[in-house]
Amino acid sequence: MLTLAIAANALGNLMLKVFSQQPEGDSLFTYLSPWFVAGNIFFFVNLILYGKALRGLAQNIAYPVMVSGTVLIVMAASVLWFSERLPLTAIAGAALILAGIALLTQQV
């Protein structure tokens, strides 16, 4: 369940990035964009899935893993889909995040 929550959270963030690249509107109707709506739907799905995941996981493990997993997915997707640059320091940071997830989940 936590893996699905991570995926939904990452997709929500990616949808909002696409929305942010659309021309700016000057009204609230701008936020009826399919990208904005889809992003928020993914965030809502994330909340449901994360809530279910917490039934079987300690929050002090689940939350850091969810946030870290989302960061790693968004980093990779941003490079692949948005052609964003990933400096060496960010790659080193991603490696540290992976090591942190491995340590956190070692006893689970």
The mean per-residue pLDDT over the stretch 2-30 comes to 92
Tens digits of residue pLDDT in 53-62: 999 999 999 9
Alpha helices in 21-87 (DSSP H): 34-53, 59-82
| Averaged pLDDT, 49-56 | 97
CA nearest neighbour of 11 among 81, 61, 65 = 81
pLDDT bin (cut points 50, 70, 90) of residue 34 is very high
- pTM for this structure? 0.90
When pLDDT is cut at 50, 70 and 90, the band that residue 108 belongs to is low
What does the domain layout of the chain look like in residue ranges?
Answer: 2-104
Q: 28 pLDDT band (50/70/90 cuts)?
A: confident
